[in-house]
Amino acid sequence: MSLIDPTQSALNSAIQGASMRHDLLAGNLANVNTPGYQRRDVDFHGALQQAMETGRPQEARFAATTEPGVISADGNGVDMDRESAELAKNALDQQALVSVAQARLSTLINAINGQG
């Protein structure tokens, strides 16, 4: 019997995916003035959903994708407003996931210690 149940595995995978997405979105913002740079992202929700359907959320595979598009005359494909909004939304997702994971672990620790 494992102490890490499928829900905790899903939370751990989701946190990992949100972290990867944060890095990619921050990279997009860092390259907003780089000629020819194309935005990168990861669909961690989709990858996690596929892994959940197989019953193995811990096996979720997150892959970065490049989204070709031209926003500026120098060929850059990053829209600063969009990236900022996506980064803020992702931060909220990540914060919620971490809060739920911490609460679940706290409950487990309390049960082991015989507390309330």
Classify residue 7: in a domain, yes or no.
no
Classify residue 69: in a domain, yes or no.
yes
* Number of structural domains found in the chain: 1
Classify residue 4: in a domain, yes or no.
no
pTM, 2 dp? 0.86
State which residues form the domain around 26.
12-112
Question: pLDDT: is 47 or 5 the higher one?
Answer: 47
Answer yes or no: are the C-beta atoms of 99 and 10 closer than 8 Å.
no
What is the rounded average pLDDT of the residues 47-67?
Answer: 90
What mean pLDDT is reported for the chain? 90
pLDDT in the model for residue 25: 97
Classify residue 2: in a domain, yes or no.
no
Classify residue 5: in a domain, yes or no.
no
pLDDT in the model for residue 113: 87
Classify residue 50: in a domain, yes or no.
yes
Question: pLDDT: is 40 or 71 the higher one?
Answer: 40
pLDDT in the model for residue 1: 38
Using one digit for the tens of pLDDT, what is the confidence trace for 3-39? 567 888 889 999 999 999 999 999 999 999 999 999 9
pLDDT in the model for residue 85: 98
For residue 42, give every residue at least 6 positions away whose Cβ sits within 8 Å of its Cβ, in sequence order, or none.
17, 20, 21, 24, 62, 63, 64, 65
